[in-house]
Structure 1
Amino acid sequence: MLTTTLCAVLSAVGLAVAFRTAYRSRYLRATRIAALALLPLGLALAGLVTLARRIGTAFGDWAADLVFDPTVWLGFAVLACSALLYGITRLIAARASVRKGAAQPPAGVPGASTARPAVQRGADSEIGLSDFADVEEILRRRGI
C-alpha cells in the first residue's frame, strides 16, 4: 500500500514537471517527461515493484548464505569440479580427433572409400582464408 502511494506521488510530481515544461512550449520534452513520470505508477500497479523487492530480498538472503554457509561453498566446489571434468573431456576428445585425422590414409589411396579428396590450398590456408578458396574457385570457373 505504501509503495503504491509513493509511486503515485512520484508520478504526480513528474506529471507536474511535464505540464510545466509543456507550458514553456517544449512539447517533445514534456511528452518524454510524462512518459517517464508514468513508469513508477505503472510498475506499482502491475505488481513489478513488489516482485523486484522479493527478488532483491531473495538475492540478499542467498548472498548472506553464501558468506556464512559452508554447504554453499561446497556446492560451488562441486560445480567447479564438474566444469573442470567437462573441459578435460573436451580437450581429450579434440586431441583424439587430431590424432585420428593424422592416422587416416591420404586421399586418392585405393581402399580409402570414406576419405574425401583433398583440395589443394596454397598460401590461403596459412593466412586463414582457406574458407574462401572454394568460393574463389567457383567464381573463377564462371569468369567472375
Structure 2
Amino acid sequence: MIAETVCSAVSAAGLGIAAVTAYRKRFLAAARIAAYSLIPIGLVMTGVVEWAADTAFSTTAWAGVVVLGGSWALFATTRAVERRRGGTPAERKEARKAQRDAVAPAASAPSLGPGDRASDRPAVTGRKDSKGSPDDFSDIEAILKKHGI
C-alpha cells in the first residue's frame, strides 16, 4: 500500500514539473519528463510494484538470491581453474598431440653465432665523420631544410 502511494506521488510530482517545463515553452523536454513520470503509475496499475514489494520482503526470495549467487561463484571458480590448467581435458589432450606432431616442437630460437651482437656493430658517437657532419644529424638537417626551418 505504501509503495503504491509513493509511486503515485512521484508520478504527480513529475507531471507537475512537466507542466512547469511546458509553460516555459520547452515542449520537447516537457513531453520527455511526462513520459518518465508516467512510468511509476503504470507499474502500480500493472501490479509490478506489489509483486516487487512482496518479493523484497520475502525470506524465500532472498534465499533464492543467495543460492543463485553461490551458483555463480561455483561457475566462476571452475572457469578460473580451467583457464589456469589450460582448458578442458580434451583441449589439453589435443594441445599435447599437436605439440608432438609439430615439425620441431623443442627447437629453440636461432643462435646469434660465436660473437655477441654488441661487439659486431660500431659504437655510435657524436663524432664527425670524414664529411664533417655528425652521424645522426644529416637526415634531420635534410628534413628541417625540406620544411624550410
Q: Normalising by structure 2, what TM-score?
A: 0.47
- With normalisation by structure 1, the TM-score equals 0.48
Report the structure number with the largest CA radius of gyration. Answer: 2
